[in-house]
Amino acid sequence: MTDKRPRRQKEELTDDRSKGLLKNKSFWVRTISGLIMTAILVTVFVVGGYVMWGFLLLLSLLGQYEFYKALKLYWGVFAWVGYLATIAYYIVLLIFGSIEYTLLIFAILLVADLAVFVLTYPRYSLEQTFAGFFSVFYVGVALSFLFIVRIHPPSGAYLVWLVVLSSWGCDIFAYLVGMLFGKHPFVPKLSPKKSVEGAIGGVVGAIVLGVVYGLIVQKYIPDVPHAPLIFGIICMFAAAAGQVGDLAASAIKRKVGIKDYSKLIPGHGGILDRFDSVIMVAPIIFLITIYMNIVN
């Protein structure tokens, strides 16, 4: 339906939204804590190596704890099996630098979870059994792709930044565009505050960030032809996937009746609240770069 309000009235409405946004305390809390998290992540990405490995392992275990807590499993047998599986996975990943050597861990994890389900029957539901297995992949393995992208030659040190640009960049643009111009609900039953305008703005913003980043670093990555175009395309698909991850996390929270996974990060919630899009983006970017022969 066409908005027939006078142009001046529309401009005043947009201006009021802008002023309201700047006066919103939660906006500033969210922005400042987001900048701090970004600074930490930038430091970890630059240093790489053992620091990045240890940081992602810590994030994975904290994220798993939040996931298990939401399902009332955080100190149960499934939780401990999941924690141990994630630790073992990261150790093998550090030693061999590839996920192909981790299949044995997942096979053992599957057997262990099913054994717990059988030996304790009927204490745990089928959903809890599957959740115990799923969390290792949903949190631990997904986040590990940040490390995998970072260590892969020849351009991993530059490509890993695409994860941030297409996930957090998309989040920021979607939030700002949605606050200022959002009119049409995207998925009202799941997330009433998200709008179609915000979703589109997030993807477009991620594309712009990818292109600009490509222009800045293309001289350092001669093995990636047409870096601005390639990075823009990668960020487009990754940003769309990241929004799926964001909405999926919201769906899980609604199903279990919680607002945030935790209060660890002011204005953002927990690890899974802040990294819900990264969980989807990191594997997608790795697979796209493999398909396009950007990394070996």
pLDDT class of 140 with cuts at 50, 70, 90:
very high
In the predicted model, is pLDDT for residue 1 greater than 60?
no
The DSSP string of 234-268 is HHHHHHHHHHHHHHHHHHHHHHHT-S-S-SSBTTT
In the predicted model, is pLDDT for residue 17 greater than 80?
no
Residues 108 and 87: their CA atoms lie apart, in Å, by 13
Residues 296 and 290: their CA atoms lie apart, in Å, by 7
What's the pLDDT at 192? 75
What's the pLDDT at 146? 93
166 close to 288: Cβ distance less than 8 angstroms: no
Number of neighbouring beta carbons within 10 Å of residue 178: 21
- Helix (H) or strand (E) run with residue 277 in it: helix 276-291
Q: Which residues make Cβ contacts (< 8 Å) with residue 241, sequence separation at least 6?
A: 280, 281, 284
Average pLDDT score, the chain: 84
pLDDT class of 279 with cuts at 50, 70, 90:
very high
What's the pLDDT at 222? 84
Residues 24 and 20: their CA atoms lie apart, in Å, by 6
What's the pLDDT at 25? 64
SS3 content of the chain, % helix, strand, coil (to 5): 75, 5, 20
Question: Which stretch of 92-106, 221-235, 241-255 has the lowest confidence by average pLDDT?
Answer: 92-106
What's the pLDDT at 58? 95
Amino acid (one-letter) located at 11 = E
In the predicted model, is pLDDT for residue 211 greater than 50?
yes
E-strand spans in the chain?
185-187, 191-195
63 close to 143: Cβ distance less than 8 angstroms: yes
Q: At 85, list the tokens.
A: 């599986």
116 close to 130: Cβ distance less than 8 angstroms: no
Q: Which sign, positive or negative, has the C-alpha torsion 206, 212, 213, 219?
A: positive
In the predicted model, is pLDDT for residue 21 greater than 70?
no
183-188: long-range contacts at Cβ-Cβ below 8 A with a sequence spacing of 24 or more? 183/3, 187/247
What's the pLDDT at 19? 54
Amino acid (one-letter) located at 260 = D
What's the pLDDT at 96? 82
Per-residue pLDDT, averaged over 160-180, amounts to 87
**Structure-model confidence comparison of residues 174 and 10, the more confident one:** 174
pLDDT class of 22 with cuts at 50, 70, 90:
low
In the predicted model, is pLDDT for residue 24 greater than 70?
no
User: b/e per residue, 132-162, with b = 16+ CB within 10 A?
Assistant: bbebbbbbbbbbbbbbbbbbbeebbbbbbbb
Share of the chain above pLDDT 70, in %: 90
pLDDT class of 20 with cuts at 50, 70, 90:
low
